[in-house]
Amino acid sequence: MDSVAASAQGSQSVAHEYAKSGSMTLRDTFARPLRDLRISVTDRCNFRCVYCMPKEVFGRDFQFLPRAELLTFEEIARLARVFAAHGVEKLRITGGEPLVRRNLERLVAMLAETEGIRDIAMTTNGSLLAQKAQVLTDAGLQRVTVSLDSLDEAVFQEMNDVGFPVARVLEGIEAAAAAGLAPVKVNMVVKRSVNEDSILEMADYFRGSGHMLRFIEYMDVGTTNGWRLDEVVPAAEIVRLVESEWPLEPVEANYRGEVASRYRYADGEGEIGVIASVTQPFCRDCTRARLSAEGELYTCLFASRGHDLRSLLRAGASDEEIAGRLSAIWTVRGDRYSEVRTAETARRPKVEMSHIGG
């Protein structure tokens, strides 16, 4: 452990700053600060979405992580404290599907007590949200993002591939809003010749609802979804399509590193967002790290490998030693996959989205 901490000292001296709050903010080789931590709490999901966990790969015989290999809530909360002390201000709980992890509200309550954390959010497929929204809000959850790829029953069930109905996801969205998690962000992954015909119906449904619909370009995350560039519907095309029905005005970003480009309806009926990781990369402003369910730290959504933090936790490392390891990882980070994407890099082995939550 001492050697790990020692190896980090040099990079720490040139790559951190003290924020006004007194926390030590780490910066990578492109001067990008560490601000956001996405925490996967499980690699399991009750959907088999074709762009994330295709059934032919994640079938009945697929071996998910045994419970003993998952980080405990106490271990996650401890890592969150270390990350917060080094600049992280926002936490997002992901999966797999996070709500299949039992008693998730207990983790939310623990994270809500973390000094320096000002925002706790969750991304979910919405299937269990109607039952859990209020208890999660009571525990300290502040925001929620729900994945919904179509309002057309046949299309949605084709994409989730388990026959799950649209209505129950919509119930989850409304339950979240009623519990105080409004505005809900609704994410629609758009795949050419699969659900692009649902774009206008989705826009029409969520216009004026108080929720924010975000269209996401189909991405080459992992290696199991059979990604092809010709299946990507560019964000610019999506914006033009929506604008052909309802005039739009661009909106300035709320903060550095905001992944969605936002547009407001000219008639005041809300906003849409587009996430264009393929055609308009935003790597230069990426402030996000990802923690997998078994404690691997990934510095890019498209990374080939992670960095083991669980072993440090379970070997009795101090917070200072874990912080040293974190600094050694982040301060040499040079990831910008989307900006340098080629046909060759798109085919290289990458961590699956279901493993680190997008």
Residue whose structure tokens are 């999901």:
45
Q: How confident is the model at residue 49, as a pLDDT?
A: 87
Written as one string, the DSSP assignment of 108-158 is: HHHHHT-TT--EEEEEE-STTHHHHHHHHHHHT--EEEEE---SSHHHHHH
Q: How confident is the model at residue 346, as a pLDDT?
A: 57
Q: How confident is the model at residue 237, as a pLDDT?
A: 96
Overall average pLDDT of the 91-119 stretch: 97
Least confident of 10-19, 142-151, 258-267, 334-343: 10-19
| Cα(98)–Cα(198) distance, integer angstroms | 26
| Cα(139)–Cα(107) distance, integer angstroms | 9
Contact (Cβ atoms closer than 8 angstroms) between residue 141 and residue 182: no
Q: How confident is the model at residue 23, as a pLDDT?
A: 58
Q: Where are the domains of the chain?
A: 2-356
More confident residue, 223 or 256: 256
Average pLDDT of the chain is 87
Q: What are phi and psi of 52, to 5 degrees?
A: -135, -60
The gap from C-alpha 265 to its chain's centroid, in whole angstroms, comes to 26
Could you tell me the pLDDT band of residue 292, with boundaries at 50, 70 and 90?
Answer: very high
Least confident of 22-26, 232-236, 333-337: 22-26
Between the ranges 46-55, 123-132, 250-259, where is the mean pLDDT highest? Answer: 123-132
Q: Which residue in 267, 233, 298, 318 sits closest to 51, CA to CA?
A: 233
Tell me which DSSP letter residue 100 carries: G
Largest alpha-carbon pair distance within the chain? 62
Fold classified for 2-356: TIM Barrel (3.20.20)
Q: How confident is the model at residue 223, as a pLDDT?
A: 57
Q: How does pLDDT run across 15-49, given as a tens digit for each residue? A: 333 333 345 889 999 999 999 999 999 999 999 98
Could you tell me the pLDDT band of residue 253, with boundaries at 50, 70 and 90?
Answer: confident
Q: What is the pTM of this model?
A: 0.88
Contacts (Cβ under 8 Å, ≥6 apart) of 65: 42, 43, 293, 294
Compute the C-alpha angle 149/210/128, nearest 5°: 50
Q: How confident is the model at residue 348, as a pLDDT?
A: 65
